[in-house]
A and B are shown apart, each in its own frame.
Chain A
Amino acid sequence: MPAVARRASPLALAAGWLALAAVAGLGLASLAALLWQAPALSISDLWREPWLAGILRFTLWQATLSTALAVGLAIPVALALARRPRFLGRRLLLRAMELSLVIPTLIALFGLVAVHGRQGWAAPLWEWLTATRADYLYGLSGIVLAHVFYNLPLSARLMLQALETAPAAHWRLTAQLGLSRGAIWRTLEWPRLRSLLPRLAALVFTLCFTSFAIVMTLGGGPRSTTLEVALYQALKFDHDLALAALLALTQLTLCLSLWLVALTRGGTPRLVPTAGSGLPGGRWWRRDALGVSRLHDGLWLLGLTLLLVPPLAAVTLAGLYGLPQLPGRGSLWPAALRSLAMALGAGGLSLLLALALLAGAEALRRRGSRLAALAMEGSGQLILVIPALVLGTGLFLLLRPSLGAGWHGYALVVLVNGFMALPFAMQVLRGAIPGLSAPEERLAEQFGIHGRARLRWLVWPRLRRPAALALAYAMTLSLGDFSVIALFGSPAAPTLPMLLFQQLGGYRWQGAAATALVLLMAVVLVFSLLDALSRRRPRYPFRP
Chain B
Amino acid sequence: MKPNITLRALALGLVAGAVSADERTLTVYTYGSFVSEWGPGPGIEAAFEAQCGGCDLEFVALDGGVDILQRLRLEGEGSAADLVLGLDMNLMAEARELGLLAPHGVDTSALALPIDWQDDTFLPYDWGHFAFVYDTEQLATPPASFAELLEAPDDVQVIIQDPRTSTTGLGLLLWIRQVYGDAAPEAWERLNERVLTVTPGWSQAYFSLFMNGEAPMVLSYATSPAYHMAVEESERYQAAEFAEGHYLQVETAALLKRSTEPELAREFLRFMLTPDFQRHIPLGNVMNPAIDLGDELPEVFGRLIEPASLTFTPEEVRDNRRAWIREWLNASSR
Chain A residues with CB under 8 Å of chain B are: 51, 54, 106, 109-110, 113-114, 117-120, 138, 212-213, 216-223, 225, 229, 232-233, 235-239, 327-329, 331, 393, 396-397, 400-401, 404-405, 486-487, 489-492, 494, 498-499, 501-509, 511-512
Within 8 Å CB of A220, what residues of B? 195-198
Within 8 Å CB of B192, what residues of A? 221
Within 8 Å CB of B39, what residues of A? 502, 505-506
The answer to whether residues A238 and B322 also contact, given A217-B199, A507-B286 and a CB cut-off of 8 A, is yes
- Among residues of A, the one whose C-beta sits closest to the C-beta of B164 is A233
7 inter-chain pairs at a CB distance below 8 angstroms, sorted by A residue, are A106-B204, A113-B212, A217-B199, A400-B74, A502-B36, A502-B37, A507-B286
The 3 closest A-B pairs by CB, nearest first: A505-B33, A502-B36, A506-B38
A237 close to B66 (CB less than 8 A): yes
Within 8 Å CB of B200, what residues of A? 212-213, 216-217, 229
The answer to whether residues A405 and B165 also contact, given A213-B204, A221-B195 and a CB cut-off of 8 A, is no
The answer to whether residues A217 and B209 also contact, given A506-B36, A507-B231 and a CB cut-off of 8 A, is yes
A509 close to B211 (CB less than 8 A): yes
Within 8 Å CB of A397, what residues of B? 74
**1/0 per position for B192-217, CB-CB distance to A under 8 A?**
10011111110111111101111100
Within 8 A of A (CB), among B163-210: 164-165, 192, 195-201, 203-209
Number of interface residues of B (CB under 8 A): 63
Within 8 Å CB of B286, what residues of A? 506-507
Residue of A213, A222, A486, A509 with most partner-chain B CB within 10 A: A222
The answer to whether B249 has its CB under 8 Å from any CB of chain A is: no
Within 8 A of A (CB), among B57-100: 58-63, 66-67, 70-71, 73-75, 78, 80
B164 close to A393 (CB less than 8 A): no
B212 close to A504 (CB less than 8 A): no
A491 close to B38 (CB less than 8 A): no
B75 close to A229 (CB less than 8 A): no
- What's the nearest-Cβ distance from chain B to residue A430, in Å? 34
B32 close to A236 (CB less than 8 A): no
B38 close to A490 (CB less than 8 A): no
Known: A494-B36, A499-B36. 10 other contacts (CB 8 A): A109-B209, A213-B204, A217-B209, A393-B70, A396-B74, A502-B32, A502-B39, A503-B38, A505-B39, A506-B39
The answer to whether B329 has its CB under 8 Å from any CB of chain A is: yes
B207 close to A229 (CB less than 8 A): no
- Among residues of B, the one whose C-beta sits closest to the C-beta of A492 is B35
Residue of A219, A236, A396, A400 with most partner-chain B CB within 10 A: A236
* Contact among B60, B197, B224, B329 with A217 in the assembled complex (CB-CB below 8 Å): B197
B75 close to A400 (CB less than 8 A): yes
**1/0 per position for B9-21, CB-CB distance to A under 8 A?**
0000000000000
B60 close to A489 (CB less than 8 A): yes
How far does the alpha carbon of A543 sit from the alpha carbon of B37 in the complex, in Å? 59
Within 8 Å CB of A501, what residues of B? 32-33, 203
The answer to whether residues A229 and B165 also contact, given A119-B214, A213-B204, A489-B71 and a CB cut-off of 8 A, is yes
B208 close to A110 (CB less than 8 A): yes
How far does the alpha carbon of A491 sit from the alpha carbon of B31 in the complex, in Å? 11
- Among residues of B, the one whose C-beta sits closest to the C-beta of A105 is B204
A222 close to B162 (CB less than 8 A): yes
- Among residues of A, the one whose C-beta sits closest to the C-beta of B331 is A222
Within 8 Å CB of A331, what residues of B? 37
- What's the nearest-Cβ distance from chain A to residue B304, in Å? 15
How far does the alpha carbon of A504 sit from the alpha carbon of B201 in the complex, in Å? 11
How far does the alpha carbon of A401 sit from the alpha carbon of B224 in the complex, in Å? 40
B165 close to A327 (CB less than 8 A): no
B333 close to A117 (CB less than 8 A): no
The answer to whether residues A117 and B63 also contact, given A220-B197, A222-B198 and a CB cut-off of 8 A, is no
How far does the alpha carbon of A480 sit from the alpha carbon of B38 in the complex, in Å? 21
How far does the alpha carbon of A277 sit from the alpha carbon of B294 in the complex, in Å? 76
Within 8 A of A (CB), among B106-141: none
How far does the alpha carbon of A505 sit from the alpha carbon of B27 in the complex, in Å? 22
How far does the alpha carbon of A498 sit from the alpha carbon of B192 in the complex, in Å? 33
A237 close to B208 (CB less than 8 A): no
- What's the nearest-Cβ distance from chain B to residue A98, in Å? 22
Within 8 Å CB of B36, what residues of A? 494, 499, 502-503, 505-506
- Among residues of A, the one whose C-beta sits closest to the C-beta of B138 is A119
A113 close to B208 (CB less than 8 A): yes
A512 close to B58 (CB less than 8 A): no
The answer to whether residues A106 and B61 also contact, given A217-B197, A221-B192, A492-B35 and a CB cut-off of 8 A, is no
How far does the alpha carbon of A465 sit from the alpha carbon of B120 in the complex, in Å? 64
A239 close to B63 (CB less than 8 A): no
- Among residues of B, the one whose C-beta sits closest to the C-beta of A212 is B200
B59 close to A507 (CB less than 8 A): no
The answer to whether residues A113 and B214 also contact, given A220-B198, A503-B36 and a CB cut-off of 8 A, is yes
A138 close to B329 (CB less than 8 A): no
The answer to whether B320 has its CB under 8 Å from any CB of chain A is: no
The answer to whether residues A236 and B67 also contact, given A106-B203, A397-B74, A492-B59 and a CB cut-off of 8 A, is yes
Residue of B199, B200, B205, B321 with most partner-chain A CB within 10 A: B200
The answer to whether B29 has its CB under 8 Å from any CB of chain A is: yes
Within 8 Å CB of A238, what residues of B? 322
How far does the alpha carbon of A393 sit from the alpha carbon of B206 in the complex, in Å? 29
- What's the nearest-Cβ distance from chain B to residue A60, in Å? 18
Within 8 Å CB of B198, what residues of A? 216, 219-222
B67 close to A492 (CB less than 8 A): no
B58 close to A491 (CB less than 8 A): yes
B74 close to A506 (CB less than 8 A): no
**1/0 per position for B320-334, CB-CB distance to A under 8 A?**
011001001100110
The answer to whether B146 has its CB under 8 Å from any CB of chain A is: no
B61 close to A119 (CB less than 8 A): no
- What's the nearest-Cβ distance from chain A to residue B91, in Å? 9
How far does the alpha carbon of A328 sit from the alpha carbon of B38 in the complex, in Å? 10
